[in-house]
């Protein structure tokens, strides 16, 4: 499950599935598939703007700086980008506290 203790377990399970689907279509094996197909795949998991935003925030906090396409996909799918920015800040803070370095912008 995804580490968002404030969310119910059911939401964390959705986020775990969403992470796989969004990552596959954003940066992974299906990254070259049509955008409407990618959005439809994301929407099969959830259309909840808040959950889409949480997952976009996780991607935004990527310490390697390679998850831009995943963020763009989730935004196109209806992610609440205010939620995304807030969650990205939380994730980044937690990762930095664990010793993760952010050497990119």
Under 8 Å between Cβ of 54 and 93: no
Under 8 Å between Cβ of 33 and 62: no
Residue 33 is assigned to a structural domain of this protein: yes
Contacts of 60 (CB under 8 A, 6+ apart): 67, 71, 84, 85, 87, 88, 91
Residue 57 is assigned to a structural domain of this protein: yes
Residue 23 is assigned to a structural domain of this protein: yes
Residue 41 is assigned to a structural domain of this protein: yes
Which token pair is 31?
Answer: 């990254």
Under 8 Å between Cβ of 42 and 49: no
Q: What pTM, to 2 d.p., does this model score? A: 0.90
Residue 68 is assigned to a structural domain of this protein: yes
**pLDDT tens digits, 47-79:** 999 999 999 999 999 888 899 999 999 999 999
Residue 15's domain comprises: 9-97
Residue 86 is assigned to a structural domain of this protein: yes
Task: State whether residue 36 is helix, strand or coil.
Answer: helix
In angstroms, rounded to a whole number, what is the distance separating the alpha carbons of residues 97 and 79? 27
Residue 103 is assigned to a structural domain of this protein: no
Segment (H or E) for 96:
helix 81-97
Residue 76 is assigned to a structural domain of this protein: yes
**pLDDT tens digits, 73-96:** 999 999 999 999 999 998 888 888
Segment (H or E) for 46:
none
Domain count across the chain: 1
* Residue 105, pLDDT above cutoff 60: no
């Amino acid at each position: 499950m995804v580490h968002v203790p404030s969310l119910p377990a059911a939401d964390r399970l959705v986020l775990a599935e969403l992470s796989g689907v969004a990552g596959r279509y954003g940066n992974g094996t299906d990254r070259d598939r049509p955008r409407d197909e990618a959005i439809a795949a994301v929407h099969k998991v959830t259309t909840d703007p808040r959950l889409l935003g949480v997952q976009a925030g996780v991607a935004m906090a990527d310490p390697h700086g390679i998850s831009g396409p995943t963020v763009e996909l989730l935004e196109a799918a209806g992610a609440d980008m205010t939620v995304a920015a807030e969650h990205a800040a939380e994730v980044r803070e937690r990762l930095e506290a664990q010793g993760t370095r952010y050497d990119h912008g």
